[in-house]
Structure 1
Amino acid sequence: MTTHTGERKAARTEEDVQRRRQKGRRQKRSAPALSLTARGGITAVFVLSLVGALLDFSFVPGLVFVAACVLAALFTKPADLPTLVVAPPMVYFLATLTAELAAALGGGSVWRSLFIAVPLELGARAPWLLAGTAAAFAIAWRRGLPEVWREISLKASGFRLTQERQTEEDPVRWDD
């Protein structure tokens, strides 16, 4: 009885996935000409943030980071948005760390850069970090992030249903 319910749920899940793919194909026609993968969007945010951090003039690093997050969220493929929206805090940290280490190699102390300058820069730029992350999330939400999460969830539940069916069909368990 549970097998039939699971099969119906898997069929319904597959139909939902197909319907969303067709909807996505229709939406792709209106997609921007430039399209980035999640890696491309994250790399763009890192490079622009690094340039902003190296400029290090008052509000420039934070403003460049927010602009990079907005641009990456606008031009990243909808299927890659979940990866992009969780990356900005780590990318900002890595860009700040890289910029401070580059400054230390130019004549400063590496230890001072690691333990004093990086935390101070991150603390001073925290509002910009929050603004960039929130802007990327808001744009990704508007571009279809909930549907992508739903599709990922449906695929995962279909995978679990397939595993359950295989377990029911094979009475011998080798992993015990």
Structure 2
Amino acid sequence: MAVEALHCGLNPQSIDHPAHADGIKLQIEGEGVESQSIKNRNFQKVSDQKGTPKRLQGEAETAKSATVKLSKPVALWTQQDVCKWLKKHCPNQYHIYSESFKQHDITGRALLRLTDKKLERMGVAQENQRQHILQQVLQLKVREEVRNLQLLTQVYDNWRSCGSLASSTDCSP
């Protein structure tokens, strides 16, 4: 199955992030995510496109300094994991809303399902604060998807190498 191009609209402000199927290269602006050639598992930086707004460039710069490695799937995060994430990625909101996140039992699964209305019901009154939290959640979702793609690619590569008779790879369970 040949895929010529893939286009992902990942930004709620209608700024799209293109991805091309040539070796499955992803180009994503965001926290701790850089261009990745998944097929070859080479990690390299992609220079900024001319059309990228300066505001996003600045956010990407500060976001790279706050890189968090996803050690376990977000859906398995505890309340404590979510509070650590909130403190690191929404420091201005953390002191105000961490108690609300605890009271509403926001685990990783619940974090991924947050909406503007849910945040409002939780007491996040200011729209700009809700949008900031949701933007951070969106970036977390993107990182999680990249991680899933990497894992799937590794499984596929292992399966493909074990499928050949001349394979020197140990394919035992």
Say whether the fold is shared (TM-score over 0.5).
no
**Structure with the bigger percentage of helix:** 1
Point out the structure with the larger strand share: 2
TM bin, normalised by shorter chain, reads 0.3 to 0.5
Scaled by the length of structure 2, what TM-score is found?
Answer: 0.33
Structure with the larger RCO, 1 or 2 (CA within 8 Å, 6+ apart): 1
Query: What is the TM-score with the length of structure 1 in the denominator?
Result: 0.33
